[in-house]
Structures are given as C-alpha cells and as structure tokens.
Amino acid sequence: MFTGIVEELGTVTALERRATSAVLTVEGPLVTTDARHGDSIAVNGVCLTVTGAGQSRFTVDVMNQTLELTTLATLAPGARVNLERAMPVDGRFGGHVVQGHVDGTATVVARQPGSTGRW
C-alpha cells in the first residue's frame, strides 16, 4: 500500500527484455537505504516487488501483463522515474490510499502552466 507521495526521482539504468517479462534496474539512493528482496516499491505509480538491491540500485521483474497495462515498457536507460516505498504501518497518512495496481494508460492532450502553483 502506498500514499502516492513520491519519495525521490530515480534513474533507470537498464530494461532487459525477456520472453515473457523484463528486468528493470533503477538507481534510487533513498528508496534503497532499507530495500530488501520482497519489498514493494512503486515505480511511476506501479507496484513492483524488489528482487535484488544494493549499491543504490534495485531490480524488479516486470511481467507481461504489467508491461501491457503501464508505460514501463517505454523506459530506457537514463529515464527518470517516480519512486515510493510501501507505506510503513506506523507511518503518517500524508496522501491517499494507493494500491499501485494500474488499470491502463492514457495520453496527455494538453499541459498548461498553473497560475498559482498551489494544490
């Protein structure tokens, strides 16, 4: 479970395609400080399971269904991604309840600068 509050901007270091999945490696110094195999990290809002972590990087296996329902397949080395660790049970609910189970993708049709910068 996540809150939707991004903790840091990570950098994709590799996306290796396999027959029915892909192995994604991301550099994220903050989210890897306590990351272990089996932990959940949201990458661009997509809940993924850490398969390995160390030296400020973590790796996840991205299944075909996830590749089809999200924009993760478009990532390339150097791409910046939003990262968030799963919410700790004793953590403050600063955002919303976010599962990280993405339903699908949409296309941005317009983007205008806001006048106040508030939300």
- Contact positions toward ligand DLZ, by CB under 6 A? 40, 46-49, 60-63, 65-66, 69-70, 100-102
In whole angstroms, what is the distance from residue 28 CA to residue 39 CA? 14
Which tokens hold the place of 70? 């999200």
CB of 102 to ligand DLZ, least distance (A): 4
In whole angstroms, what is the distance from residue 78 CA to residue 15 CA? 11
Query: Closer to ligand DLZ at the Cβ: 20 or 107?
Result: 20
CB 48 within 8 A of CB 2: no
In whole angstroms, what is the distance from residue 9 CA to residue 5 CA? 12
CB of 68 to ligand DLZ, least distance (A): 8
- Residues 6+ away with beta carbon under 8 Å from 5: 84, 94, 95
CB of 30 to ligand DLZ, least distance (A): 20
Query: Closer to ligand DLZ at the Cβ: 37 or 80?
Result: 37
Query: Closer to ligand DLZ at the Cβ: 36 or 117?
Result: 36
CB of 12 to ligand DLZ, least distance (A): 15
